[in-house]
Amino acid sequence: MRTRDIVMRFGIAGAFLLLSEMGVASAQTTASGDGGKLARTFCNACHQVEPNADAPSPNPEAPPFARIATTPGMTDLAIRVFLRSPHSTMPNFLLSEPEIDGVIAYIRTMGGT
Ligand code: HEC
């Protein structure tokens, strides 16, 4: 459906809805920004997701992301493998591969390799 058809069918509100959905789609292509949003939505109930290693996590068992970033051996692959299965204490949700990429890119903004 073209924008003009949508305007005719749903009026101006429909066109705005379409435009805002296009905005969401383009936001999803910026991996690290998206990862930060995901982290703040899904992970910050337990983890400290802001790049301040000294700030404690809401759940003291859950390591702050800045510490995960600099933990030796916590490679991109290790994080990826970890996130493909739900961790014991985490609610039973799984991220899609692009979401995992985004979260890893976000964690990497805090250090590590
Ligand atoms: C309900 C609480 C909770 C939520 C929500 C949660 N985690 Fe965790 N996470 C934990 C706990 C507790 C640990 C440490 C114990 C364990 O490994 O199971 C942990 C460990 C981890 C580790 C491994 C750290 C290490 O050194 O082994 C990674 C990576 C991780 N979480 C990433 C995430 C990401 C990314 C999200 C969001 C998509 C997330 N977690 C959401 C509680 C949570």
Q: Which of 89, 107, 108 to mutate to test the pocket of ligand 1 (most atoms within 8 A of CB)?
A: 89
Are 39 and 25 contacting, i.e. CB atoms less than 8 angstroms apart?
Answer: no
pLDDT in tens, 54-110: 799 999 999 999 999 999 999 999 999 888 877 766 666 678 899 999 999 999 999
Nearest to 39, CA basis, from 113, 99, 111: 99
Q: What confidence score (pLDDT) does residue 67 get? A: 94
Nearest residue to 35 (alpha-carbon basis) of 112, 101, 92, 80: 101
Cα–ligand 1 centroid distance for 27 (angstroms): 25
